[in-house]
């Protein structure tokens, strides 16, 4: 399966953390097929002192989606990401990894929704993804990543 991931962070040496996290994804999950450029973006949905650095990655893996999610959460924790049930809203973090697409699968469970429900509204997700997969068609919106980026109202 081909996993399309969005990584970002804004605490610490973000570029270094992202590079190490990509290495960890390759080691624990599967082959890194493509990596976008690193993109500096303003925080989305909240105010923060530091801008985010975002990158998109395509991984090829035979692992099941729930197993991949568990490994992603372990990698986030390794770099200082703390999650709690009380966590509400958006906040600064050293590392965030989101599964955007898994091939053309549709998944809607308590812990995982694919395609990511907000990806098409976030330029910080679409721009790096468009660099490495411009012609990928969103499985429910039936539009290419390039088209979604062109239509994105996010500034």
Catalytically annotated residues: 81, 93, 96, 98
Q: 90-117 b/e with 16+ CB inside 10 Å = b?
A: eeebbbbbbbbbbeeeeeeeeeeebbbe
- Given a contact cutoff of 8 angstroms between Cβ atoms, the answer to whether 8 and 96 are in contact is yes
Q: How far apart are CA 102 and CA 17, in angstroms?
A: 24
């Amino acid at each position: 399966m081909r996993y399309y991931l969005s990584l970002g962070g804004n605490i610490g040496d973000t570029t270094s953390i992202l590079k190490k996290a990509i290495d960890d994804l390759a080691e624990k999950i599967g082959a890194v097929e493509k990596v976008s450029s690193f993109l500096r973006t303003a925080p989305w949905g909240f105010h923060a002192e530091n801008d985010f650095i975002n990158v998109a990655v395509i991984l090829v893996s035979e692992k099941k989606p729930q197993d991949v999610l568990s490994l992603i959460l372990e990698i986030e924790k390794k770099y200082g990401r703390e999650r709690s049930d009380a966590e509400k809203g958006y906040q600064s973090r050293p590392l965030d990894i989101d599964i955007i697409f898994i091939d053309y699968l549709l998944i809607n469970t308590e812990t995982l929704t694919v395609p990511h429900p907000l990806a098409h509204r976030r330029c910080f997700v679409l721009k790096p993804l468009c660099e490495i997969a411009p012609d990928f068609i969103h499985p429910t919106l039936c539009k290419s990543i390039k088209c979604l980026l062109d239509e994105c109202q996010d500034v």
